[in-house]
C-alpha cells in the first residue's frame, strides 16, 4: 500500500477570499434570512430608501426610532453571535467551514490541545466589514499569511499538498 505524505503550507489569498464569500452566503441563507420578516416589519418600509432618506425619516420620527432601536440592536447582536458560532464550531470540530471545505483549506491550531475559544477569537472580526478589513490588512503586510486575530488566537489557514 502506498503511503502519501502530507505537507501543509499557507493557503492562498484567493482561496481564502472565495471560501469567505461562500460562508457569507451560507450565513445569509441560514442565519439572516429567518430574521428578514422581523427586520422588514421593524423598518416599516424604509429599507428601500437611501441612508440619508432613512436618517431624515428617523430624525423626524424620533419616538419610532427609540421604540425600534433596542429591538434592532438585539436582532443584530443575535445574528453576529450566531455568525461567529458558525465559523467557530465548524472550525473547532472539523477544521473547516463550508467555504473552506469547497476550497480544500483547513484551520490548524499552533498548539496540540486547541480550545474552542481560540476558534471563537479568530472569527470575532468577521461580524463587521471594517474590523475584518483591518484584520486582513495585517495578513497582507506580514509573512505567513495570517490575519492579526489568527496570530493572537494561535491558528492559521493551510492547504495540504500530497506527495509519495
DSSP letter string, 100-139: HHHTTEEEEESSSS--HHHHHHHTGGGGSHHHHHHHHHHH
pLDDT digits (tens, 9 = 90+) for 138-160: 988 887 789 999 999 999 999 98
Q: What is the mean pLDDT of the chain?
A: 89
What's the mean pLDDT in 99-126? Answer: 95
Among residues 14, 13, 155, 15, which one has the least CA distance to residue 87?
A: 155
Predicted confidence band of residue 49 (pLDDT cuts 50, 70, 90): low
| C-alpha cell at position 48 | 428601500
What predicted TM-score, i.e. pTM, was given to this entire model? 0.84
Half-sphere CA count of 160, side-chain side, radius 13 A: 15
What pLDDT is recorded for position 47? 62
What's the mean pLDDT in 26-38? Answer: 93
What pLDDT is recorded for position 48? 66
* β-bridge partners, 105: 159
Among residues 161, 152, 80, which one has the least CA distance to residue 117?
A: 152
3-state secondary structure of 47: coil
- Enclosing domain of residue 53: 5-163
Give the C-alpha separation, 40 to 102, whole Å: 33
What's the mean pLDDT in 38-63? Answer: 73
Q: Are 15 and 105 in contact (CB under 8 A)?
A: yes
How far is residue 50 from each of residues 29, 39, 53, 56, measured CA to CA in Å?
24, 16, 5, 10
54-58, 91-95, 160-164, range with the lowest pLDDT:
54-58
CA trace torsion 145, 151, 153, 157 (10° rounding):
10
Number of domains observed in the structure of the chain: 1
| C-alpha cell at position 57 | 425619516
H-helix or E-strand spanning residue 37: helix 36-43
Amino acid at each position: 500500500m502506498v503511503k502519501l505524505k502530507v505537507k501543509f503550507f499557507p493557503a492562498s489569498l484567493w482561496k481564502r477570499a472565495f471560501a469567505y464569500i461562500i460562508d457569507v452566503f451560507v450565513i445569509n441563507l441560514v442565519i439572516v434570512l429567518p430574521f428578514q420578516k422581523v427586520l422588514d416589519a421593524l423598518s416599516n418600509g424604509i429599507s428601500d430608501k437611501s441612508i440619508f432618506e432613512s436618517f431624515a425619516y428617523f430624525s423626524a420620527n424620533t419616538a419610532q426610532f427609540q421604540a425600534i432601536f433596542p429591538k434592532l440592536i438585539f436582532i443584530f447582536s443575535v445574528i453576529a453571535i450566531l455568525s461567529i458560532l458558525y465559523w467557530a464550531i465548524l472550525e473547532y470540530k472539523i477544521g473547516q467551514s463550508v467555504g473552506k471545505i469547497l476550497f480544500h483549506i483547513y484551520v490548524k491550531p499552533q498548539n496540540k490541545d486547541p480550545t474552542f475559544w481560540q476558534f471563537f477569537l479568530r472569527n470575532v472580526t468577521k461580524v463587521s466589514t471594517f474590523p475584518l478589513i483591518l484584520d486582513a490588512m495585517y495578513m497582507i503586510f506580514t509573512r505567513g499569511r495570517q490575519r492579526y486575530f489568527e496570530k493572537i488566537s494561535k491558528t492559521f489557514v493551510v492547504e495540504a499538498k500530497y506527495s509519495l
